[in-house]
């Protein structure tokens, strides 16, 4: 029966659908040069939705709705807010993209993918989950290959599509195994069935392996990361930013719910797998990032590494662990989008993406330099930016759970991170353009960029300084898992 709670539980999704419909209806009437206004509409609409959801859509006690398909709780809700924030920022960044910004369908695809991610965060059933993942992924395949004239973009789209479908197929096979043995697809009922002893460790391991392959692709963790640099480099920059943040966070939302809820009794085995993956991911991501010369590839490897840090919280398998992952992702989404935003703003004017092209950037636009500084320092884990606090929380969870060795690996990795992030900043602040005439080569920011970057920078700093509200939300999200 349809109750007000059911309505509240999908309120954001309903509103997103309405927004999409409005967009569809309005867009054909706009002239070519007005179509970028779709970005204002999307971003403004999404911010409105965020406000409305916060006012009317807050979950109370966790509750299963729609025939146990959807779980209405803080975990899902907080992730949804994060996704919508990321999508809104991405929409703003898309607006002045030379090729994609003028086309309404880009925003539409973004909204479609957002819808899928929102559902990923709340799915309580494997079937629902799979559908959500596909809903989120397919628009992204299209978006990555959106620039048909650009070989790289086409290659990115195709590559993403191939690997993505392969990975989800493997994951689906894992799901089917679960269903075969448990006879149910409801995540919340699995935990009772899968008590250890009833099922052989070997089988459990193979299930985990299959699911982790699928989700690992989403998270872009080693060894399922190989697509990421190429796809990020080829896709339109805002889309790459969205891929590296919201899409990754959606993967984590699934990981947390799936493993924490369905397999607590197998925790020792899967935490071990994740611990190993986290260590490898951080190390490989950071080491490969050192030698990158392309800024987008650098960010790609750095985002791989960040998935590794976040996994420490998953490995901790505790309330604090889950909360710290969520918090980490909140900080990471703002930070990484900021970084990609700066890259977008820079390459829009200059058309360049190599790190060495950033020489003299802070003289060409001091504000953009500062934004990049904030983003990179946050990625490096320096206060007062979000990256510091979130890393500390994740490490704290790791130490609490006794994974000190993993924390030490994380720390060693963040040192490598400091090295290459600061090395990139060296170009921005220290070096100069070949003929030292930065004054004649300014980098103007259009209004959408100014708003998006300011918003994101504010987010990075707010998460890093006034962290209590965000952490209490993360904590509320984690509380529902145990």
Partner 1 sequence: MNFPILSIITFLPFVAAVIMLMMPADRKTEIRGVALATAVIDLLLAGWMYLQYLLGDMNGYQFIETYNWLPALGISLKFGVDGMSAPLVLLTGIVMVTGVLISWGVYDEEHHISAGIQDRPREFFAFLFLLAGGVFGVFVSLDLFMLFFFYEIAVFPMYLLIAIWGWVKTREYAAMKLTLYLFIGSVVALVGALAMYWTQYTNTGVLSFDMLLMEKAGFSAAFQYAWFLPVFFGFAVLGGIWPFHNWSPDGHVAAPTAVSMFHAGVLMKLGAFAALRVGIMLLPEGAKQWAWLVMAFAGVAVVYGAFIAFVQTDLKYMIGFSSVSHMGLVVLGVSTLNHDGLVGAGVQMFSHGVMTALFFAVTGMIYDRSHTRQIPELGGMMKALPFAGVGFIIGGLVSMGMPGFSGFVAEFPIFMGVWGRQWLVAVIASISIIITAAYIMIAIRRVFFGPMPEKLEGHISPITALDKIAIFTLCSCMVIIGIFPAVMVPMVEKGVENILRLLGGA
Q: What residues line the site for partner 1 (CB under 8 A)? A: 320, 362-363, 366, 370, 373, 377, 380-384, 388-389, 392-393, 395-396, 399-400, 404, 407-408, 411, 414-415, 418-419, 422-423, 425-426, 429-430, 467-468, 471-472, 475
Give least dist CB 366 to partner 1, A: 6
Choice between 191 and 400, CB closer to partner 1: 400
CA 409 from centroid of its chain's CA atoms: 23
What is the C-alpha to C-alpha distance for residues 361 and 373, in angstroms, rounded to an integer? Answer: 11
Name the pairing type of β-strands 63-65 and 70-72.
antiparallel
Q: How far is the CB of 88 from partner 1 (least distance, A)?
A: 25
Taking the least distance from each CB to partner 1, the nearer of 89 and 373 is 373
CB atoms within 10 A of CB 104: 20
Between 159 and 364, CB nearer to partner 1: 364
Closest distance to partner 1 from the beta carbon of 333 (Å): 20
For the chain, state the CA radius of gyration: 21
Output the smallest distance, CB 440 to partner 1, in A: 16
- Pick from 323, 300, 283: which is nearest to 408 by CA? 283
Residue 400 burial by CB count (10 A; 0-12/13-18/19+): exposed, middle or buried?
middle
Please, what is the minimum distance in Å from the beta carbon of residue 71 to partner 1? 23
Q: Are 201 and 269 in contact (CB under 8 A)?
A: yes
> If we measure between CA atoms, which residue out of 33, 84, 80, 30 comes closest to residue 59?
80
- For the bound state, the minimum distance from the C-beta of residue 265 to partner 1, rounded and expressed in Å, comes to 25
Q: Which residue has the tokens 């992030």?
A: 421
Determine the Cα–Cα distance for residues 150 and 160; give it in Å rounded to an integer. Answer: 15
CA pair distance 444, 460, nearest whole angstrom: 22
* Core vs surface per residue 88-98: b (16+ CB within 10 A) or e: bbbbbbbbbbe
Taking the C-alpha atoms of residue 14 and residue 10, their distance in angstroms, rounded to an integer, is: 6
Quick one: 217 or 467, whose CB is closer to partner 1? 467
Nearer to partner 1, 285 or 360 (CB): 360
Nearer to partner 1, 233 or 378 (CB): 378
Of residues 116 and 360, the one with the C-beta less far from partner 1: 360
Minimum CB distance to partner 1, residue 314 (Å): 18
Smallest distance from the beta carbon of 475 to partner 1, in angstroms? 5
136: number of CA atoms within 13 Å, CB side?
33
For residue 111, count other CB atoms closer than 10 A to its CB: 24
Nearer to partner 1, 301 or 393 (CB): 393
């Amino acid at each position: 029966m349809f109750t007000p709670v059911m309505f509240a539980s999908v309120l954001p999704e309903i509103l997103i659908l309405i927004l999409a419909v409005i967009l569809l209806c309005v867009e054909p009437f706009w002239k070519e040069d007005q179509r970028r206004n779709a970005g204002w509409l999307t971003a403004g609409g999404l911010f409105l939705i965020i406000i409305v959801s916060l006012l009317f859509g807050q979950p109370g006690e966790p509750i299963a709705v729609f025939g146990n398909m959807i779980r209405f709780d803080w975990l899902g809700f907080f992730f949804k807010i994060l996704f919508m924030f990321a999508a809104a920022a991405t929409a703003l960044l898309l607006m002045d993209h030379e090729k994609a910004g003028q086309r309404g369908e880009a925003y539409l695809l973004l909204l479609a993918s957002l819808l899928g991610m929102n559902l990923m965060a709340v799915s309580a059933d494997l079937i629902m989950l799979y559908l959500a993942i596909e809903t989120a992924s397919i628009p992204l395949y299209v978006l990555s290959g959106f620039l048909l004239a650009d070989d790289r973009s086409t290659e990115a789209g195709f590559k993403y599509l191939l690997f993505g479908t392969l990975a989800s197929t493997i994951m689906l096979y894992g799901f089917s195994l679960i269903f075969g043995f448990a006879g149910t697809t409801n995540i919340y009922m699995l935990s009772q069935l899968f008590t250890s002893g009833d099922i052989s460790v070997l089988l459990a391991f193979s299930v985990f392996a299959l699911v982790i392959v699928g989700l690992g692709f989403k998270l872009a963790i080693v060894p399922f990361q190989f697509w990421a640099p190429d796809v990020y480099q080829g896709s339109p920059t805002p889309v790459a930013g969205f891929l590296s943040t919201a899409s990754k966070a959606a993967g984590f939302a699934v990981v947390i719910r799936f493993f924490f809820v369905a397999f607590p009794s197998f925790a020792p085995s899967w935490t071990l797998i994740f611990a190993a993956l986290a260590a490898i991911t951080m190390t490989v991501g950071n080491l490969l990032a050192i030698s990158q010369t392309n800024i987008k590839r650098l960010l790609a490897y750095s985002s791989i590494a960040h998935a590794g840090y976040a996994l420490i919280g998953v490995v901790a398998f505790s309330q604090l662990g889950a909360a710290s992952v969520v918090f980490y992702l909140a900080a990471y989404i703002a930070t990484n989008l900021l970084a990609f935003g700066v890259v977008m703003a820079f390459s829009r004017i200059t058309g360049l993406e190599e790190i060495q092209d950033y020489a003299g950037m802070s003289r060409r636009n001091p504000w953009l330099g500062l934004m990049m500084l904030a983003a990179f320092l946050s990625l490096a884990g320096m206060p007062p930016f979000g990256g510091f606090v979130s890393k500390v929380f994740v490490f704290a969870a790791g130490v609490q759970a006794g994974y000190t060795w993993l924390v030490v690996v994380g720390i060693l990795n963040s040192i490598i991170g400091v090295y290459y992030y600061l090395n990139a900043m060296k170009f921005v602040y220290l070096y100069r353009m070949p003929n030292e005439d930065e004054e004649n080569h300014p980098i103007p920011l259009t209004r959408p960029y100014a708003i998006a970057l300011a918003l994101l920078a504010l987010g990075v700093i707010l998460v890093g300084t006034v962290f209590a509200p965000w952490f209490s939300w993360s904590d509320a999200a984690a509380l529902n898992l145990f």
